[in-house]
Amino acid sequence: MNSVDFRPSAHFTLAEAMRSQEAVRHGIDNQPPRNVFSALTALAENIFEPVRDHFDIPFSPQSWFRCQALERRLCWTSFINWCKRRKREPDEESWAIYFDRKQHPKGCAGDLELPGISNYELAKWMRDNLEFDQLILEFHVWGKPTSGWVHASFVEGENRGEVLTIGRGRALEGLPDYD
């Protein structure tokens, strides 16, 4: 298939999958390769479309596919901390191991926010209604509905159903119980 003709799903486009202000700012070509097309479709059909349908709100993912150069720019601090925790040198060998675990570069993870919906409510609905590999409520502050975002991944194999809450310097299992 010509990449010009490829569309991940009915309401989500290839342009949305590759869109990144950071990539534009640094002249990075964030075009997804063909071998991630099926992952883009699986994520869009199993996560994005059901969310759009349930809330009846059109949205565009904040971040979806990330090529290696973009992931390097966006996740360098997280990589350095990952190395520190493992007492590894932050060299190319460590980067290769770190990078291999990342899901945005495989096309199977996206960050989303819905206009008018609290990110906590969004994460809760997704946790209770969707199949996913990982669901992470990131940098959300209780009382500030639009703070943070929801990271979700879906793999074309066995999905782990892992739920995490990540904030400044902490990662907790599950979602906080605000209700």
Of the candidate spans 19-27, 30-38, 118-126, 144-152, the one that interacts with Zn ion by CB under 5 A turns out to be 144-152
Instruction: Choose, by CB under 5 A, the member of 45, 49, 111, 156 that binds Zn ion.
Output: 111
Place of tokens 């675990």: 101
Interface positions, 54-93, toward Zn ion (CB under 5 A): none
- We find the least distance from the C-beta atom of residue 103 to Zn ion, in angstroms, to be 8
Burial 71-109 (b: 16+ CB within 10 A, else e): bbebbeeebeebbeeeeeeeeeebbeebeeebbbbbbbb
Of the candidate spans 48-56, 85-93, 105-113, 161-169, the one that interacts with Zn ion by CB under 5 A turns out to be 105-113
- We find the least distance from the C-beta atom of residue 146 to Zn ion, in angstroms, to be 17
- We find the least distance from the C-beta atom of residue 87 to Zn ion, in angstroms, to be 26
Q: What percentage of the chain's residues is helix, strand, coil (to nearest 5)?
A: 40, 15, 45
Burial 26-49 (b: 16+ CB within 10 A, else e): eebebebeeebbebbbbbbebbbb
Interface positions, 149-168, toward Zn ion (CB under 5 A): 151
Contacts of 24 (CB under 8 A, 6+ apart): none
Of the candidate spans 45-53, 78-86, 119-127, 143-151, the one that interacts with Zn ion by CB under 5 A turns out to be 143-151
User: Residue 99 corresponds to which tokens in the numbers above?
Assistant: 């990078």
Give me the residue whose beta carbon is nearest to Zn ion: 151
- Closer by beta carbon to Zn ion, 14 or else 43: 43
CA atoms of 43 and 135, how far apart (whole Å): 12
- Closer by beta carbon to Zn ion, 87 or else 170: 170
Q: What is the largest CA-CA distance in the chain?
A: 48
Of the candidate spans 5-13, 32-40, 110-118, 119-127, the one that interacts with Zn ion by CB under 5 A turns out to be 110-118
Q: Which residues bind Zn ion (CB under 5 A)?
A: 111, 151
